[in-house]
Structure 1
Amino acid sequence: MITPVVRRISEYLVKPRGLTQVSNQTCNLTSWDIAMLSMHYIQKGLLFKKPATLLDEHAFIQNLLENLKHSLSLTLFHFYPLSGRLVTHKTQNPPTYTVSVDCNNSDGARFIYATLDMTIADILSPIDVPHIVQSLFDHHKAVNHDGHSMPLLSIQVTELVDGVFVGCSMNHAVCDGTSYWNFINTWSQIFQAQPQADEYDVPILHQPIHNRWFPSDCTPPINLPFKHHNEFISRFEAPLLRERFFHFSAESIAKLKARANSESNDSNTSKISSFQSLSALVWRSITRACSLPYEQKTRCRLAANNRSRMEPPLPHEYFGNSIHKVSAETRVGELLENDLGWAALKLHSAVTRHNDREVLQSVQEWLQSPVIYQLGQPMEAFVVMISSSPRFNMYGNEFGMEKAVAVRSGYANKFHGKVISYPGREGGGSIDLELCLLPHAMCSLESDEEFMNSVSISTTLY
């Protein structure tokens, strides 16, 4: 049997339409941005069903591609750093080493059209995410530092037999998940507005803010203590993982929240959130499935948005990275011998402590001793890392094909213990989690009664 492969048909470079003088500048990177240079690009994509009443599929695809490219060009007018490239400036006397985004003389964002002889069911029906999904994204295994020579944004549109997958790879040193989905939401808004060819400054709901945040005592650009990128860039190869989606209905999550708050032994019996309760379940279940020694340390890390925690808060539209890893730690035995509420309260306490003072302190510590995050770095504790957010507007994006039937991610930034959160397609507070585990751990998790009793059967049909 011949295994289907993704065939690239065409490739274009898309520049911002109506490029104005404001984009002819250098965009300085913050500590939050620079720390991501050795991580992978963000890779998320939307799977759409082709319209049911197509008379001419070829004409539909050609029209779709032209409209996507045109609206992408208009969107880049607002998100112009994505059409640039990273640049490193070095001097010897005095010694300096800085990394920034050069918005001048860039080639633009990459736009790829590809085909795959598979159906939507071939992608969504298997229990595990098929390996072919990784091929639905460009920049496979690229790290953010590669943005010196590779586009900071690459869109791959893959035509399936009965669907279309729009995969977006965006440089994580330039933006975080909040900025990423603001870009996708804006692109969808502009696409649906169907502006005329001579228009470029199309009104949008959430205008990105490109003034990067630096502490008052920090004058950009940030000078790094390096002489060559080999000192802080590494290439991570993930082990063979099983990747599987688990659906949690709003009703199931509400039960978890009620249970966590009742078990937390705290006078305020409703302060533990739904997501903290679900995260505690995942932390305990994955740790149990890995059969770790009871004396070993274990951590649960949540990707927290700094914007609302700062004083004054950064706007939601702030374009760039503004995230921090909030962490709760204990020993395996203590985690498993206590109940769900105990674990959820530890996570709640960690989130509550993450305020303006803690954000500023972490930035100051980084500036004194810059650290570039490394995938696969040896750790003294087993880590469950929960990233992305079910609050992101993923299913509100339509590109002439109605609501997406699913969201999928690429190879990027996955390792044993990684969990990616998404809103459930039916909304209402439902959540989908993508778990990445070694095969033996996934098999154990699938037999975990506490975990599987909370997993729901999705009622969404594509």
Structure 2
Amino acid sequence: MYFFTCPVGSRQHNTFLYKNKATHFLKAQSHNTMAHLQPPNVIETTHISPPKGTVPSTTLPLTFFDAPWLNLPLSEFLFFFSYQNSTDCFLKDILPNLKQSLSITLKHFFPYAGKLIIPPRPDPPYLRYKDGEDSLLLIVAESTGTADFNDLKADSAKDIRVLHGVMPKLPPPHVSPEGILMRPTRVMQVTIFPGAGICIGNSATHFVADGVTFSHFMKYWMTLTKSKGQDPAATLLLPSPPDHSCRNMIKDPGEVAKGHLERFWSQNYSSHATSENMVRATFTMSRKQIENLKHWVTEQSDYQSPVSTFVVYLAFTWVSLIKTLIEGSGEGDKDEVFHLMINVDCRNRLKYAETEPIPQTYFGNCIAPGIVSVKKRDLLGQKDVLAASNALTARISDMLSSDLLKTAPSWGQGVRKWAMSRFPTSIAGAPKLRMYDMDFGLGKPCKMDIAHIETGGSIALAESRDGSNGEK
């Protein structure tokens, strides 16, 4: 099983996760990292809440956008920052400000400090924040020295388990005497590598919010932290606060959520274990290489408009992935169809009222799945990247021009077809989220990893790490 992390911008990065089929080089790299498995030492655990009395006890319903994620893996992001000082310096100079700004940020993003409440069936689950009771768990840890920061942030192949020590584990759910299950929604961990760097790890339940909301949360926290509450100019650059008001007015077309709730109740919540026999590596494609590929696809394509960087790079990566996966498996059926699942952000594209679109600052999930399908003979043919590019362009154009709410009842059927196929591939992250803009006063991240691609065949996308030329 392979996974890619592919930042899109002036340069592209691919992260491969190999299972049971690593090359000699990758196996050697995996063996080199086997010693780097000792977990960091926990220095403290803190429960961070919004400032007391600033957020009233609140409940929020789950929408039909949230329901599909109820029984799916966590969303896991890691941000690595260079930091040359000692642990004591970090605890004295940096950590208090991180905590204070996180508390203020949670005033606006309070569901991240809340819980998912699961009453006995048939009452539907919902989100709750209770003032004075709910909080977000923040873990502060120090590397024991066996896991080298430079190895963790490097692009070279590494055993996936080296990242598990810096990825926080979500606390277990609590069951009340009345049989009500209460699950935390997020946990965070800051790991210090003395004299080298820090890692900020995030583990969250995806049913609370999607990547757009997570990026919004991180940028709000980042801006407050960087300003230290003293720089009016920096504070003025704060993103707009999230919008929770339209959640009650998002209508479910065709009882979409009902089917997801039935599966959730019947399956119950379960963890999603991954194979330990994996390594991951990051690869880079230059701007020149991308432009050459775009030029070739545009010349060959029947579409009049130039192909986008997102489409051509995703097409190239998907083709490369499928070719590698089927290597040695024989010719097989030329009419076999491979499926790629992409997500379209529905903010500003769907209306929750007669005239009001769902705002860009909406807190929650607001993405529609789209399945791109290409026959094996085309995906592996002489014009493989062109076939994938044309299919991607057509699917995106169709989704953006259609009434997405009317198509929502059929989303589940498409996702089931995708899931039952051989080598189903999906997308994690997106270039527009600008994950490499996260500067907490320590400079921008030297590496960002999306860890949850370990649990499924994902291609994770982000913008260029160096920021040159921006996103195309």
TM band (smaller chain): 0.7 to 0.9
Residue 167 of structure 1 is matched in structure 2 by 201
1: CA distance between counterparts of 2:120 and 2:170?
29
Tell me if the contact between 1:29 and 1:221 (Cα under 8 Å) persists in the aligned partners: no
State the alpha-carbon separation in 2 of the partners of residues 358 and 137 from structure 1: 39
1:407 aligns with 2:440: no
Q: Could you give the per-residue CA deviations for residues 91-121 of structure 1, whole angstroms, max 9, x where no partner exists?
A: 6xxxx33011011254300100011124331
Alignment of 1:107-118 (within 5 A): 107-116=134-143, 117=145, 118=147
Count of matched residue pairs: 410
In structure 2, what is the Cα distance between the partners aligned to 1:70 and 1:14? Answer: 9
Question: Deviation at 1:288?
Answer: 1.0
Determine whether 1:355 maps to 2:388.
no
How far apart are the structure 2 equivalents of 1:25 and 1:215? 18
User: How far did 1:213 drift?
Assistant: 6.3
Three-state SS of the structure 1 residue aligned to 2:297 is helix
Partner Cα distance (1:318, 1:156) in 2: 26
- Percent identity of equivalent pairs: 21
SS in 1 for 2:466: coil
Query: Which among 229, 233, 257 is matched to residue 265 of structure 2?
Result: 229
Preserved contact between residue 118 and residue 126 of structure 2 (Cα < 8 Å): yes
Q: Does 2:15 match 1:15?
A: no
C-alpha distance in structure 2 between counterparts of 1:5 and 1:233, whole Å: 27
Alignment counterpart, residue 103 of structure 2, candidates 73, 76, 100: 73
Residue in structure 2 matched with residue 394 of structure 1 by the alignment: 435
**Which position in structure 1 is the counterpart of 2:28?**
none
Residue 243 of structure 1 pairs with residue 280 of structure 2: yes
Query: Cα gap change, 1:60/1:229 in structure 2, threshold over 3 Å: closer, same or farther?
Result: same
Residue matched to 2:370: 326
Query: Which amino acid letter does the alignment assign opposite residue 273 of structure 2?
Result: E
Match in the other structure for 2:148: 119
Aligned 1:432-447 pairs, distance under 5 A: none
Distance 2:205 2:263 in 1: 23
Q: TM-score, normalised by structure 1?
A: 0.79
Verify the 8 A CA contact 2:87 2:193 in the aligned structure 1.
no
- Which deviates the most, 357-366 or 396-405? 357-366
Q: CA offsets per residue over residues 190-221 of structure 1, 9 Å max, x none? A: 1112127xxxx998322101122654477999
Residues 40-119 of structure 1: pairs in structure 2 closer than 5 A: 40-51=73-84, 54=85, 57-90=87-120, 96-105=122-131, 106-116=133-143, 117=145, 118-119=147-148
Unmatched 5+ residue regions in structure 2? 1-34
Query: Structure 1 residues 360 and 142 mapped into 2: Cα distance closer, same or farther (>3 Å)?
Result: farther
- Per the TM alignment, residue 150 of structure 1 is displaced from its structure 2 partner at its CA by 4.2
> Helix, strand or coil for the counterpart of 2:454?
coil
| Alpha carbons of structure 1 residues 329 and 141: separation in structure 2 relative to 1, 3 Å | farther
CA-CA distance at 1:222 after TM superposition: 6.2
Query: 2: CA distance between counterparts of 1:296 and 1:142?
Result: 42
* Contact residue 50 and residue 105 of structure 2 kept, 8 A: yes
Determine if the alignment matches structure 1 residue 176 to structure 2 residue 210: yes
Rounded to whole Å, the distance in 2 between the matches of 1:150 and 1:203 is 34
- CA-to-aligned-CA distance 1:1-52 (integer Å, 9 cap, x gap): 685432222111111115435x42211111111110111221112111114x
Question: Which residue of the partner structure matches residue 188 of structure 1?
Answer: 222
1:156 aligns with 2:189: yes
Q: Deviations over 1:352-372 (max 9, x none)?
A: 111374420243457xxx89x
Q: How far 1:381 moved relative to its partner?
A: 3.7
- Amino acid of the structure 2 residue aligned with 1:307: R
Deviation for aligned residue 1:151: 2.6
Greater Cα offset, 105-114 or 352-361: 352-361
Q: Displacement, 1:338?
A: 4.6
Secondary structure, counterpart of 1:414 in structure 2: helix
Q: Which segment drifts farther, 225-234 or 290-299?
A: 225-234
RMSD: 3.4
One of 403, 423, 432 as aligned partner of 1:382: 423
Match of 1:261 among 298, 309, 318: 298
Secondary structure of the residue aligned to 1:181 is helix
Equivalents in 1 of 2:375, 2:263: separation in Å?
39
**SS at 1:302 equivalent:** strand
| Cα pair 1:32 1:321 within 8 Å, conserved | yes
What is the letter of the counterpart of residue 337 of structure 1? G
Residue of structure 2 equivalent to 1:301:
341
For the residue of structure 1 that corresponds to 2:94, the secondary structure is: helix
Deviation at 1:182, TM superposition (A): 0.4
Question: 1:275 maps to what in 2?
Answer: 310
Cα drift, residue 326 of structure 1 = 1.7
Distance in 2 (alpha carbons) for counterparts of 1:326 and 1:355: 11
Contact residue 390 and residue 423 of structure 1 kept, 8 A? yes
Task: Give the SS at the match of 1:73.
Answer: helix
Cα shift readout 1:364-421 (whole Å, capped 9, x = no counterpart): 457xxx89x89x99613432212211121222222231222111232x2534531111
**What SS does the corresponding residue of 2:207 show, helix, strand or coil?**
coil
Structure 1, unpaired ranges of 5+: 432-462
Structure 1 pair 120/281, CA: closer, same or farther in 2 (3 Å)?
Answer: same
CA 1:135–1:2 in structure 2 vs 1: closer, same or farther (change >3 Å)?
closer
Alpha-carbon contact 1:280-1:347 (below 8 Å) kept: yes
Alignment of 1:24-35 (within 5 A): 24-35=57-68
Q: Tell me, what secondary structure is at the counterpart of 2:79?
A: strand
CA–CA distance in 2 between the matches of 1:332 and 1:141? 43
TM-fit CA distance, 1:128 = 1.6
1:231/1:262 CA distance change after superposition, 3 Å: same
Whole-Å separation in 2 of the counterparts to 1:71 and 1:16: 10
SS in 2 for 1:31: coil
Matching residue's letter, 1:408: D
Q: C-alpha displacement at 1:140, in angstroms?
A: 6.4
Number of the residue aligned with 1:424: 464
